[in-house]
Amino acid sequence: MHIMTVCLGNICRSPAAEAVLLRRLEDAGLTDVTVSSAGTADYHVGKGPHELSVAEGEGRGYAFSSVAAQFAADHFQEADLILAMDASNEDNILALVRGPEDEAKVVRLGAFASDAGQGVRDVPDPWGLPPEAYTRMYDQIEDAIDGLVAAIRDDRIGEVLAGQRATS
């Protein structure tokens, strides 16, 4: 399985989600899952993650190796699951779908959060905000990634996606 995390510029939220997911998958012994990230815009292509995202992430024990890339329709072929950080990112990704198979791969990360039963929350973009915004971002991402890893482990990805589609 290949999972792609996607935000706007691919320097704050999606590389953070990628780093958290890689670590949590390793901790869970799920070695057959690969992870990458991209942004819906080309603002930062070729650049590393934002320094505040890296600082908060490294403080939590995460490692970063990604370089910003822009999401393109070809990514539907390589990814089995595409996790949008917010509704706007999700809309931008869905604008590139080529058919129902592509669309079925797209869901917001918040669908896996512990409070998803109350509605799927967006992961707010912390870019340009103080360090506390990055702390809140990681708290939210870690919660949703824990739910995602549990869904992978318990083979419930399809169930979560179906539930998300029913409430959209």
Q: pLDDT 10s per residue in the chain (168 long)?
A: 999 999 999 999 999 999 999 999 999 999 999 999 999 999 999 999 999 999 999 999 999 999 999 999 999 999 999 999 999 999 999 999 999 999 999 999 999 999 998 889 999 999 999 999 999 999 999 999 999 999 999 999 999 888 877 666
Sign, Cα dihedral of 40, 44, 45, 49: negative
Question: Which of 86, 102, 125, 143 is flagged as catalytic?
Answer: 125
Residue 89's SS3 state is: helix
Per the residue annotation, which of 12, 13, 121, 143 is the catalytic one?
13
- For the question of residue 108 being annotated catalytic, the response is no
What is the residue extent of each domain of the chain? 2-160
Task: For the chain, report the end-to-end CA distance as a whole number of angstroms.
Answer: 25
Question: Does the annotation count 32 as an active-site position?
Answer: no
pTM: 0.96
CATH architecture for the domain at 2-160 = 3-Layer(aba) Sandwich (3.40)
